[in-house]
Amino acid sequence: MNHIFIIGTRAQLIKVAPVIYTFEKNKIEPLIIFTGQHRDTMEDLLNEFSIKTKPFYLTTAKEHASILSLLTWAPSILIKLVQYLKKNQRASNIYVHGDTLTTLISAIAGKIARNRIIHLESGLTSNNLFDPFPEEIIRRIVFRLTDIACCPSQKDVLNMQRYKNIEILNTQGNTILDSITQLKLVEKVTMVPNSCVVSIHRFQNINNLQRLHEIVDMLIEISKNYAISMVLHPATLKKLKSFNLYDSLLNTSNIKLLPRMTYQKFITLSLSSDFVISDGGSNQEELAFFGHPTIILRDTTERSDGIGKNAILINQTQDALSFIANNNFVNLKYPSKKLTASPSTIIYKYMTYL
């Protein structure tokens, strides 16, 4: 059977890349389909992970930075993907990842074209249907379309056992651990005292004027004592400008606004700081591996990585300010972990020995 990886976002590619690399290393050339949900640095990421397979683009890549843009993009991609799979790729293994619109579209298209759906990073849940939104809803739909669930932990395995007619594989960790190990990221870090890195992009944090205004005020207050490097997702940049908040950050001397960068550069930047403020699940997992102090600007998370150790959930900006002012983030520093098993290798062996 052919092995087809359908990818839309940078975060997906970062986590799927080591699986693709493992297939290539074992002389199996997969097919990579890009849906065009993200554009920035996608080709750079392939090069970073030494992936030789050339991706097939369903459409011209474009950065979809708004809900309206995504809703107009999604139906056309679904139609194109169904047509392509029906014509060229019946009875194949379709690998989908995570909880994005590309995940949902790919799983639906794969089922329509009578392919087998392999869900990477399966079984995660916040146990709250609307938080995070729409990711939790997408995951629950994809669970029901999945044939083989690749679960990062025993907790996720137990969650997937509630669904019928699914094969379940415990990958003994998230594939992002392979990404970290493959790129040897920890060897390139030089600490920058009194600094922090910020990455905010979830709809709950950027789509509401009052909420985003509170976050901007928080960052300006933090900048009085810490040099801030804020990595701007296209959606975040768009909302900051539309809410007339961008100039407030731009004109604050101790805040540096940075474009989205390659994976290696972002992790190196994050690890060089005293702490990171993020609302991203991938950031939570990555920084948990390194034991790096992380403030997660959310009420809930579907991931357990780092919680109670290097990571803390703080949704209220005033609470985050107090936490930082009291230097409580120092207590979040933990030793780096060691990778005891390769999730990507476990997936490869299972899928090729079926």
For range 17-28, the mean pLDDT: 97
Q: Say whether pLDDT at 17 is over 90.
A: yes
Geometric angle at alpha carbon 83, from 81 and 85, rounded to 5°: 65
CATH no. for 185-332: 3.40.50.2000
Position 66 scores a pLDDT of 61
Compute CA 97 distance to the chain's CA centroid, rounded to the nearest angstrom.
10
> Which region among 26-40, 100-114, 157-171 has the lowest average model confidence (pLDDT)?
26-40
- Closest alpha carbon to 311 in 280, 338, 342: 280
> Which region among 60-69, 85-94, 153-162, 342-351 has the lowest average model confidence (pLDDT)?
60-69
Compute the distance between CA of residue 198 and CA of residue 217 in angstroms, rounded to an integer: 13
Position 133 scores a pLDDT of 85
Position 354 scores a pLDDT of 63
Position 261 scores a pLDDT of 87
Sequence-separated contacts (24+) of 294-298 with Cβ below 8 Å: 294/332, 295/320, 295/323, 295/324, 295/329, 297/200, 297/205, 297/215, 298/131, 298/132, 298/202, 298/204, 298/205
Q: Sign of dihedral through CA atoms 113, 61, 46, 14?
A: negative
Q: Do domains 3-170 and 185-332 have the same CATH topology?
A: yes
Q: Is 334 helix (H, G, I), strand (E, B) or coil?
A: coil
For range 267-280, the mean pLDDT: 96
Q: Is 206 helix (H, G, I), strand (E, B) or coil?
A: helix
For range 187-204, the mean pLDDT: 91
Position 69 scores a pLDDT of 72
**pLDDT band at 42; cut points 50, 70, 90:** confident
Position 257 scores a pLDDT of 98
- Closest alpha carbon to 7 in 39, 29, 32: 32
- Closest alpha carbon to 98 in 182, 166, 9, 231: 9
- Closest alpha carbon to 144 in 117, 113, 174: 117
Position 186 scores a pLDDT of 65
Indicate the pTM of the whole model: 0.87
- DSSP secondary structure string, 157-175? HHHHTTSSS-EEEE-SS-T
> Which region among 56-65, 78-87, 162-171, 342-351 has the lowest average model confidence (pLDDT)?
56-65
Superfamily of domain 3-170: Glycogen Phosphorylase B; (3.40.50.2000)
Position 262 scores a pLDDT of 84
Compute the distance between CA of residue 338 and CA of residue 351 in angstroms, rounded to an integer: 25
Summarize pLDDT for 92-151 with one digit per residue, the tens. Answer: 999 999 999 999 999 999 999 999 999 999 999 999 998 888 899 999 999 999 999 999
The domain limits of the chain are: 3-170, 185-332
For range 310-335, the mean pLDDT: 97
Compute the distance between CA of residue 125 and CA of residue 122 in angstroms, rounded to an integer: 9
Q: Say whether pLDDT at 244 is over 90.
A: yes
**Residue, of 76 and 66, whose pLDDT is higher:** 76
Compute CA 78 distance to the chain's CA centroid, rounded to the nearest angstrom.
22
